[in-house]
Amino acid sequence: MALGSLEIGIVGCGIAGQAAASFLADAGHVVTVLERFEQPHPVGAGLLLQPTGLSVLRALALEPDALATGARIDGLVGENQWGVRVIDLAYGDLHPAAFGLGIRRSDLFDLLNRRLLGSAARRVTGVEIVDVERDGARAVAVDRKARRHGPFDLLVVADGAHSALRQRVFPRARAPLYPWGCIWTTLPDTQAFGAIRLLRQRFAGTSSMMGVLPVAPDRLTMFWSLPTPTLEADQPLDLDAMRHEALALWPDAAPIIERAFDTGDFARATYRHVSLPGWNDGPVLFVGDAAHGTSPQLGQGANLGLLDAHALARSLAEAGDVPQAMERFAARRGPTNRFYGTASHLLTPFFQSHHDLLAIPRDLVLQHACRTAIGRRLMTGALAGLRRGWRSAETLDADGRYPL
């Protein structure tokens, strides 16, 4: 027997939380979104939506607006400090119509926020949820002022990689900071750099890395990798030294580098490797980066969160009760989320670490793989979000789209 209308609370108003709220409200559930900021806003740099994430936006009727706002990406190119192409991947190897989409996080946030505000979901702002209590088979969210919200038949925690609730619910959860993060900025594309329609990266060993991603028809996001301790808010950034290092690393990108460092308008980003003993504890479910945060090396964070939101709505629609829905959700999302969490964790030191010798096997292996049709297809499938494990993957449909 299908579930009726449930009282569902969602902690966090980010990508996964907003998408889940819209799907669940559309399905007839009574949804309350609890957000700590008085005025919700996005946090983070430009991102790459894969065919997987685009399919979820399509289900929310947001894909046309996203395509108009973002920048089509046809592949990924990575070069070492000598300009040798180490990574060369094209979505067209999967299907001629396949592509990714670079988009500013703020633009994606705005699309999802308008969708949420147009739904029947209720949003409560200015409440920072710091604890969860059980009320029989239901859950109560407790905010910093000791106010109780709920009880809810299901409480969805989507408060990001730096989740305040993760350790409260799962004392054995692990979420260490990655040793490396980045500074980033978005700037006008005055040199038509984005016309190439690629995510481009340049790296020297494993200790210097820069990326440029088109995120709008006339905008680029530039990333510069740095050790996490230098990204503390009270640590000054030596922008002059970084400018010189970036120019030496990537002379062809000099106009972008000069403009970025002249402006000096950089934000700082750190990342966590999140590992939970399970996706839920009774009626409390973790989704998005709160459940499986990764480094950005495989470009999957937003996409995995969007897929979580869709899978949750689908699992509730098919199940007879909440525990059964949680089992269905874990079966749907567990393999993919575990694969990308593990793969990202293993891959990151080869691109961001103090062990420059790791660049030698990285360059040799990736160059060889990209020169074979099978290797390119396997690697592009991982980039596109299609892997369900080390030995299994999904495929795009006849139109080059990811079938939900």
Domain boundaries, the chain: 7-73+101-173+273-347
Instruction: Summarize the confidence of residues 317-325 as an average pLDDT.
Output: 95
As a whole-number percent, the residues of the chain with pLDDT over 90 amount to 90
What pLDDT, on the 0 to 100 scale, is given for residue 356?
A: 93
- Strand, coil or helix: what is 372? coil
Instruction: Summarize the confidence of residues 291-309 as an average pLDDT.
Output: 92
Query: SS3 sequence, 127-152?
Result: CCEEEEEEECCEEEEEECCCCEEEEE
What pLDDT, on the 0 to 100 scale, is given for residue 211?
A: 95
What rounded mean pLDDT belongs to the chain?
Answer: 94
With a cut of 80, say whether residue 300 has pLDDT above it: yes
pLDDT tens digits for range 180-217: 999 999 999 988 888 889 999 999 999 999 999 999 99
| 243 — pLDDT class (breaks 50, 70, 90) | very high
What pLDDT, on the 0 to 100 scale, is given for residue 302?
A: 95
**CATH, range 7-73+101-173+273-347:** 3.50.50.60
With a cut of 50, say whether residue 290 has pLDDT above it: yes
- Write out the E strands in 136-264: 138-143, 148-152, 154-157, 180-188, 198-204, 208-216, 219-227
What pLDDT, on the 0 to 100 scale, is given for residue 309?
A: 98
- Sign of torsion, CA 361 364 367 371? negative
Instruction: Summarize the confidence of residues 378-399 as an average pLDDT.
Output: 93
pLDDT tens digits for range 107-134: 999 999 999 999 999 999 999 999 999 9
For residue 350 the two structure tokens come to: 């080869």
What pLDDT, on the 0 to 100 scale, is given for residue 218?
A: 92
pTM: 0.95
With a cut of 90, say whether residue 303 has pLDDT above it: yes
How far apart are the C-alpha atoms of 213 and 77, rounded to whole Å?
Answer: 11
With a cut of 50, say whether residue 23 has pLDDT above it: yes
What pLDDT, on the 0 to 100 scale, is given for residue 391?
A: 87
Q: Is 38 exposed, middle or buried (0-12, 13-18, 19+ CB in 10 A)?
A: exposed
With a cut of 80, say whether residue 264 has pLDDT above it: yes
What pLDDT, on the 0 to 100 scale, is given for residue 44?
A: 65
With a cut of 80, say whether residue 2 has pLDDT above it: no
| 299 — pLDDT class (breaks 50, 70, 90) | confident
With a cut of 50, say whether residue 1 has pLDDT above it: no
Instruction: Summarize the confidence of residues 263-290 as an average pLDDT.
Output: 94
Peptide bond into 51 cis (omega under 30): no
